[in-house]
Amino acid sequence: MLGILNIDKPQGITSHDVVNRVRRSLGTRRVGHAGTLDPLATGALVVAVGPATRFLQYLPLEPKVYEFTVQFGVETNSQDSEGEVVAEKPVPSDLQTQILDRMPHFAGEVLQIPPMFSAVKREGKPLYQLARQGVEVERESRTVYIEEFTLVKVEGATGKFRCACSGGTYVRTLAHDLGQMIGCGGHVTELRRTAVGRFRVEDAIALEDVSLDHLMPLAEALSPMPMIPLSGELAGDVWNGKRVGVRPVPEEKYVALQDPKGRVISVAEVVVGGFLQPTCVIPQEALNGEL
């Protein structure tokens, strides 16, 4: 049992809750996800099952695309509607103009300070645990990349937006920082992830519909990574942890290696000399259903 699921996460549960439900549905403990979604958020959540969990880092998971709503004039301690209100300020009458004037500041590389209500760790402890104790600590800013930031519409004190960004971007913080720059504050009230790289929410399945029939093979999930078919002998070398040589030498940094049956058995790095060094390998027993 191995493959990738694209699940439309419902509101009100954590990404880890989704993993637990998939474990129960498929009867396996080996399940992991790529890219946490807050309980408030809905949308595309990529989940790996079985040995496919080893390959999450190689999936095409960027950019991440979101549609979200911001309530201006109200700040919360979590930067979304699940937190407590900490400040209220008048919203400018020309809100749309103010938004459009300041949005260019949030294009390209942007520095963000992770919110206290986040899974970022401080001395081994997630920040949200400290936040729930009423403790706030200094956090280092981090660079994220905003590929697209679009205002869809403004209705009263509410703005609807679309954003395409790098992994690690906090949309809550993007909304908070925009509100701060305008001077009235703001927080996210709705958040939906519509795409994670090539995994789109319109192709996602509902959590209650998860089954083995929906598992996406690695050969499909890793696309557009090049696929290199191997002979039985070379596949055996890969299973034994050996590097292999092929011609022509791929130009990409990483390639997927397939056994004679067309099954992905490894992702390999192209190293000096044109060899392919396996970086993760699926045991032959797992492919044959013995694990």
Instruction: Name the residues annotated as catalytic.
Output: 38
Which amino acid makes up residue 83? Answer: G
- Tracing tokens 């959590």 back to the chain, one arrives at 207
Query: Three-class SS of residue 175?
Result: helix
User: Residue 154 — φ and ψ, nearest 5°?
Assistant: -120, 130
The rounded Cα 236 to chain-centroid distance in angstroms is: 33
In the structure encoding, which two tokens stand for residue 235, read together? 């596949």
Indicate the SS3 state at residue 29. Answer: coil
Residue type, 12: G
Strand ranges (E), 142-253: 142-155, 158-165, 186-196, 199-200, 205-206, 227-229, 244-245
Please provide residue 237's backbone torsions phi and psi, each rounded to the nearest 5 degrees: -60, -40
